[in-house]
Amino acid sequence: MNPTEITEEQIKMKVFPFSLKDSVKDWLYYLPPEPEKARQTLLLQSARSILNQSAAMAEEAEVVKNKQVVLKNYATGFVKDSDFIIKTDSTMSLKVPESSSKGVLVKNFYLSCDPYLSFLMQKSDSSLEAQFSRFSLGSTINGFGVAKVVDSRHPKFEKGDLVWGITGWEEYSLIAEPDSLFKIEHTDVPLSHYTGLLGMSGLTAYGGLFEVCNPKKGEKVFVSAASGSVGLLVGQFAKLTGCHVIGSAGSRENVHMVLYCRVDLLKNKFGFDDAFNYKEEQDLDAALKRYFPEGIDIHFENVGGKMLDAVLLNMRMHGRIAVCGLMSQYHQEKPEGLYNVASILIKRLRMEGFGVFDYLHLYPKFLDLVLPQIREKKITYVEDIAEGLENGPAAHVGLFSGRNVGKQVVLVARE
Amino acid sequence: MNPTEITEEQIKMKVFPFSLKDSVKDWLYYLPPEPEKARQTLLLQSARSILNQSAAMAEEAEVVKNKQVVLKNYATGFVKDSDFIIKTDSTMSLKVPESSSKGVLVKNFYLSCDPYLSFLMQKSDSSLEAQFSRFSLGSTINGFGVAKVVDSRHPKFEKGDLVWGITGWEEYSLIAEPDSLFKIEHTDVPLSHYTGLLGMSGLTAYGGLFEVCNPKKGEKVFVSAASGSVGLLVGQFAKLTGCHVIGSAGSRENVHMVLYCRVDLLKNKFGFDDAFNYKEEQDLDAALKRYFPEGIDIHFENVGGKMLDAVLLNMRMHGRIAVCGLMSQYHQEKPEGLYNVASILIKRLRMEGFGVFDYLHLYPKFLDLVLPQIREKKITYVEDIAEGLENGPAAHVGLFSGRNVGKQVVLVARE
């Protein structure tokens, strides 16, 4: 059967397995809000990939076992280990099917644990749902990772290339449209750094701080979830710009000891001018007034909810808020309300949502800035590496209980 | 006594009357959030003006009766006629006191009714209070108006000049710091237009649409409170840019007939592509999906609350929201929550508060655009003129019950 002849009807009848259909789901997140058309196009592409893969197998390409982390239950409240399942019976042909003109097949080395994945694991009935796609039950988790090209039909990539970008939480991934995979050119720094500092986290911090907020020397910068992988870098980039930087960090009560260390680390290891534990503050507005008596010029938002509401009250005229994440909201069934919207008007604030995909074109410029800083050890970067794909779910769950310090990475395989 | 010798102590002891102290209060609204310092400085300036005025009176300058509209009660809920009082026993010397090096004395012709005045009439215990100043009991209402210079010590203005800018709701006003008064150069258009189309409303619409939202031909624009003085102009400027423009209008139920006319007028008189009555919509989200099946690129926000929440769900990727006013919130004791904040992140929206004072430098450029359009009758503009200062309160109250169509103006005196 010719893949181009696949009909919508066949897709509806599920003539192809779930797993590969979902390998493209993540891309939907970044598409313009024409969900139905985009989804159909991508479903067709996926279905074609499946048939192409069968063809490749008929060509006697090597077929290997492919362990995968799959969504078992939709997340409700905080994500739990039991929401994931480790699937050990899948296989993968190590050849990109002939008719997939742009496909790349990769072996995954490192995966990145990021809070937004929890959001994609929820089943939501909100009308936001229509605008992007979450993971479906039985689908492989997808996220940022570092991998090596095993086979390629894409002119930009060849076998042996090291890459970073969106890949699957599995040993091998077939990436049908690798437009946002980056080739790794510099290997004098740890490869795992491309899951964070030199990958999504770094470019996110760079784009959000410099493109959205345009910081000037001497400005007051507040970073929420400052001990997260993006927050730590935002703080350091802002310090390099000559700003006064204060961060907040938090955790659930039961890991209070770890939290104490976090706030301490922000000040003593990561060079923040000051930091506070928001869990110890009865009144976030009062806390911000204490740390920013003259107000906040730039706020880098990773948290949302009550923290953002308190920040709005403490912004200065013409302040800028980069909305990078809303971590406090991902586990909520209904989002919290934001009440101090009048501050946006009264203080002429600019609040802007952004994602790393808006700044991919700046990656070379970003590397020019950050690679020398890494080599001269002017940037402090910490990774928390969980060994083994099967420990991925626990590592991800740990993000929300404050278990990690710095970037949480999952090691799938060594080079 | 030399005015420069006035002490803080004397100010606290109220050695000068209320009315003039408050004539500068409105400026505080636009100052950076250093309220205490700014307030003290302005109080000192006011006190000096008072003493200077006494000195002028001693110089036998002409003294006239000066009718004033004064705040009687803090507004709670919707503003009522009875929250104002007409004060008829004040007087004004028609000479700027000698030591007021920059003062201008004006005779007021037209005053502008604007929703934000209601907000300044509330007594609030919110912590926003610290960042700007509301009217205090017994103070004269201040707002935008058109006036003629009676006497001036400012090098930019001379007797006989026509001006627009912030003035008092009174027959004569002494403006101590006329930095934001504009001289009216073009009198081939109705003078009353400088309260709106050629003044604050026009420059607000221009700055908000072109500077904040950067509209492109073919983009979908939504204007809330579209039948208000700013909304009507935003819609027409967007149409001139080649955008597809839809407006919403609303009123309280008891003036349903008037509202019907408004929506009709938006379409048939003001050239909107479509318009709807939000009071007739059970579900604002559904209404917006009906009018914007492909989503909204640009939203010009005059309303806030539930409308803004529904708009967030219907914005397109990289959409822009200019926050010009939050009319639905001014009469609320506690603001409504905004729940769809995640849209800002997911759809990379930019939401920006602004005020006309951010764009004063663009006034000449604005006139270059809009004067030819007025002369060629390409802009439709409607004024609702209430005759007599004593009818000002009712005219202002009417803004919130949907009584007016187009710009609500109060005629204080004819030229």
Determine contact, residues B232/B406, Cβ cutoff 8 Å: yes
Answer yes or no: do A190 and A204 share one domain: no
B288 Cα to chain A: minimum distance (Å):
13
Answer yes or no: do A227 and A138 share one domain: no
Contact A337 B334 (CB under 8 A): no
What sign for the dihedral angle of Cα A166, A167, A168, A174? Answer: positive
Answer yes or no: do B175 and B240 share one domain: no
Phi, psi dihedrals of residue B101, rounded to the nearest 5°: -65, -20
Contact A336 B338 (CB under 8 A): no
The SS3 call for residue B130 is helix
DSSP state of B19: H
Contact B351 A346 (CB under 8 A): no
Contact A350 B350 (CB under 8 A): yes
Chain A residues touching B355 at Cβ < 8 A: 345, 348
Answer yes or no: do B129 and B244 share one domain: no
Mean pLDDT value across residues A160-184: 93
Q: What digits encode the pLDDT tens for the residues B357-369?
A: 889 999 999 999 9
pLDDT tier at A92 (50, 70, 90 boundaries)? very high
* B122-160: b (≥16 Cβ within 10 Å) or e: beeebebeebbbbbeeebbbbbbbbbbbbbbbbeebeee
Query: How far apart are alpha carbons A29 and A51 in whole angstroms?
Result: 25
Mean pLDDT of chain A: 83
Residue B371 predicted with pLDDT over 90: yes
Residue B32 predicted with pLDDT over 50: no
Which of B33, B128, B346 is facing A316, going by the closest CB pair? B33
Answer yes or no: do B227 and B313 share one domain: yes
List residues of chain B with CB under 8 Å from any CB of chain A.
Answer: 32-33, 127-128, 131-132, 285, 294-295, 304, 308, 313, 316-317, 323-326, 329, 334-355, 358
Of the residues B131, B307, B309, B313, the best mutation for testing chain A's interface (the one with the most A CB atoms within 10 Å of its CB) is: B131
What are the respective helix, strand and coil percentages of chain A, to the nearest 5? Answer: 40, 25, 35
pLDDT tier at A134 (50, 70, 90 boundaries)? confident
Query: How far apart are alpha carbons B229 and B399 in whole angstroms?
Result: 10
- N- to C-terminal Cα distance for chain A? 38
A351 Cα to chain B: minimum distance (Å):
5
Percent of chain A exceeding pLDDT 90 equals: 57
The count of domains in chain A is 2
Residue A326 predicted with pLDDT over 70: yes
Residue B328: the pLDDT is: 76
Percent of chain B exceeding pLDDT 70 equals: 79
pLDDT tier at A228 (50, 70, 90 boundaries)? confident
Q: What CATH number has the domain bearing residue A398?
A: 3.90.180.10
| Domain presence at residue B226 | yes
Chain A residues touching B313 at Cβ < 8 A: 127-128
| Domain presence at residue A371 | no
What pairing do the DSSP bridges indicate for beta strands B84-87 and B315-323? unpaired
Report which secondary-structure segment, H or E, holds A87.
strand A84-87
Residue predicted with more confidence, A48 or B382: B382
Residue predicted with more confidence, A300 or B39: A300
A338 Cα to chain B: minimum distance (Å):
5
Rg of chain B over Cα atoms, rounded to whole angstroms, equals 22
Residue A210: the pLDDT is: 97
Query: How far apart are alpha carbons A135 and A72 in whole angstroms?
Result: 10
Structure tokens at B167: 């003035």
pLDDT tier at A147 (50, 70, 90 boundaries)? very high
Residue B130: the pLDDT is: 40
Residue predicted with more confidence, B400 or B121: B121
Chain B residues touching A317 at Cβ < 8 A: 32-33
Which of B128, B325, B354 is facing A343, going by the closest CB pair? B128
Mean pLDDT value across residues B99-108: 90
Residue B351 predicted with pLDDT over 70: yes
Side-chain half-sphere CA neighbours of B5 within 13 A: 2
- Helix/strand/coil (H/E/C) assignment for every residue in A153-193: CCCCCCCCCEEEEEEECECEEEECCHHHCEECCCCCCCHHH
The residue in chain B having the minimum alpha-carbon distance to the alpha carbon of residue A208 is B348
Of the residues A31, A332, A338, A340, the best mutation for testing chain B's interface (the one with the most B CB atoms within 10 Å of its CB) is: A338
Answer yes or no: do B206 and B327 share one domain: yes
Query: How far apart are alpha carbons B374 and B372 in whole angstroms?
Result: 5
Phi, psi dihedrals of residue B184, rounded to the nearest 5°: -90, 115
Residue A120 predicted with pLDDT over 80: yes
The SS3 call for residue A30 is coil
Answer yes or no: do A392 and A342 share one domain: no
Residue B28 predicted with pLDDT over 60: no
Mean pLDDT value across residues B318-329: 89
Structure tokens at B25: 């209060």
pLDDT tier at A78 (50, 70, 90 boundaries)? confident
Residue A174: the pLDDT is: 93
Contact B340 A337 (CB under 8 A): no
Of the residues B230, B311, B328, B344, the best mutation for testing chain A's interface (the one with the most A CB atoms within 10 Å of its CB) is: B344
Residue B191: the pLDDT is: 96
Chain A residues touching B336 at Cβ < 8 A: 337, 339
Chain A residues touching B334 at Cβ < 8 A: 339
Residue A7: the pLDDT is: 55
Which of B33, B338, B348 is facing A341, going by the closest CB pair? B338
| Domain presence at residue B350 | yes
Answer yes or no: do A191 and A209 share one domain: no
Region of poorest pLDDT, from A292-301, B208-217, B402-411: B402-411
Q: What digits encode the pLDDT tens for the residues B244-260?
A: 999 998 754 334 445 55
Answer yes or no: do B219 and B116 share one domain: no
Determine contact, residues B86/B119, Cβ cutoff 8 Å: no
Using alpha carbons only, give the angle A55, A56, A62 rounded to the nearest 5 degrees. 145
Contact B353 A334 (CB under 8 A): no
Answer yes or no: do A218 and A271 share one domain: yes
Phi, psi dihedrals of residue A400, rounded to the nearest 5°: -90, -10
Using alpha carbons only, give the angle B270, B271, B275 rounded to the nearest 5 degrees. 85
| Domain presence at residue B365 | no
pLDDT tier at A50 (50, 70, 90 boundaries)? low
Mean pLDDT of chain B: 83
Residue A75: the pLDDT is: 87
Residue predicted with more confidence, A242 or A263: A242
Mean pLDDT value across residues A162-171: 96
Contact B346 A323 (CB under 8 A): no
Answer yes or no: do B111 and B177 share one domain: yes
Region of poorest pLDDT, from A33-47, A149-163, A385-399: A33-47
Contact B128 A317 (CB under 8 A): no
**How many Cβ atoms are within 10 Å of A153's Cβ, its own excluded?**
18
Residue B256: the pLDDT is: 44
| Domain presence at residue A164 | yes
Mean pLDDT value across residues A46-63: 63
Contact A355 B345 (CB under 8 A): yes
DSSP state of B404: -
Contact A346 B308 (CB under 8 A): no
Mean pLDDT value across residues B278-289: 93
What sign for the dihedral angle of Cα B228, B231, B237, B238? Answer: negative
| Domain presence at residue A58 | yes
Chain A residues touching B358 at Cβ < 8 A: 348
Give CA separation, A204 vs A82, A229, A382, in Å.
30, 10, 17
Region of poorest pLDDT, from A130-139, A224-233, B134-143, B284-293: A130-139
Mean pLDDT value across residues A365-393: 93
Chain B residues touching A349 at Cβ < 8 A: 352-353
Residue predicted with more confidence, B179 or A371: A371
B140 Cα to chain A: minimum distance (Å):
22
| Domain presence at residue A192 | yes
pLDDT tier at B41 (50, 70, 90 boundaries)? low
Report which secondary-structure segment, H or E, holds A319.
strand A315-323
pLDDT tier at B189 (50, 70, 90 boundaries)? very high
Q: Looking at mean pLDDT, say which of A15-19, B121-125, B147-151 comes out highest.
A: B147-151
Q: How many CB pairs under 8 A join A and B?
A: 124
By the 10 Å C-beta count (0-12 exposed, 13-18 middle, 19+ buried), B2 is classed as exposed
Contact B339 A338 (CB under 8 A): yes
What single letter denotes the amino acid at residue A2?
A: N
* A308-326: b (≥16 Cβ within 10 Å) or e: bbbbbbbbbbebbbbbbbb
Q: What CATH number has the domain bearing residue A318?
A: 3.40.50.720
Answer yes or no: do B225 and B306 share one domain: yes
Residue B289: the pLDDT is: 97
Give CA separation, A128 vs A78, A262, A409, B281, in Å.
20, 34, 29, 20
Which of A336, A341, A347 is facing B335, going by the closest CB pair? A341
Chain A residues touching B33 at Cβ < 8 A: 295, 316-317, 347
pLDDT tier at A57 (50, 70, 90 boundaries)? low
What single letter denotes the amino acid at residue A14?
A: K
pLDDT tier at A239 (50, 70, 90 boundaries)? very high
Among residues B84, B110, B90, the alpha carbon closest in space to that of B20 is found at: B90
The SS3 call for residue A247 is strand
Mean pLDDT value across residues B63-67: 94
The SS3 call for residue A196 is coil
Contact B308 A341 (CB under 8 A): yes
Chain B residues touching A310 at Cβ < 8 A: none
A5 Cα to chain B: minimum distance (Å):
29
Mean pLDDT value across residues B176-194: 92
Structural domain that includes position B150: 3-197+382-411
| Domain presence at residue B363 | no
What sign for the dihedral angle of Cα B369, B373, B379, B383? Answer: positive
Residue A291: the pLDDT is: 97
Of the residues B346, B354, B357, the best mutation for testing chain A's interface (the one with the most A CB atoms within 10 Å of its CB) is: B346
Of the residues B116, B341, B352, the best mutation for testing chain A's interface (the one with the most A CB atoms within 10 Å of its CB) is: B341
A304 Cα to chain B: minimum distance (Å):
8
Residue A6: the pLDDT is: 52
Rg of chain A over Cα atoms, rounded to whole angstroms, equals 22
Of the residues B323, B328, B359, the best mutation for testing chain A's interface (the one with the most A CB atoms within 10 Å of its CB) is: B323
Give CA separation, A176 vs A39, A69, A99, A133, A154, in Å.
15, 19, 11, 17, 9
Side-chain half-sphere CA neighbours of B88 within 13 A: 2
